[in-house]
Amino acid sequence: MDSASRKNAVCNICTVRLVEMAYRRAPWFRLVREPLKAGMRLMAFIHRIDPDVYEVRSSECYGCMRFYKVALKEKSRLFLWLNGLVNPHFDALIERILTEEEVQLA
């Protein structure tokens, strides 16, 4: 598939780096994030999200949860609703674990 016909899944913050920093700072954060991650992967499977139709910065991005989040927002009203409920609390938690400088580094 050529890059002109791909959907854009490029983000401003590297979620992988952000989460790695949060896991180092607060190991218990895994207990919060991993069930959410599993749910997103299940929803991506159910909605048959095809990573090949998205343009990303690197091949590592295809396994990133932000990638799945972008794709699920396009395909699932249920995900949009759930994300609206959970995401503000999740973001607030990350902001309590990491400094603004660490978020910007990601």
Tokens encoding 106? 């990601």
Q: Using one digit for the tens of pLDDT, what is the confidence trace for 46-101?
A: 999 877 777 777 777 766 788 788 889 989 999 999 999 999 999 999 999 998 88
Closest CA relative to residue 94, chosen from 21, 16, 3: 21
- Whether the per-residue pLDDT at 11 is higher than 60: the answer is yes
Q: Whole-prediction pTM value?
A: 0.77
The confidence score (pLDDT) of residue 31 equals 96
Question: CB–CB of 40/65 below 8 Å?
Answer: yes
Separation CA 42–CA 24 (nearest Å): 26
Tokens encoding 29? 């954060």
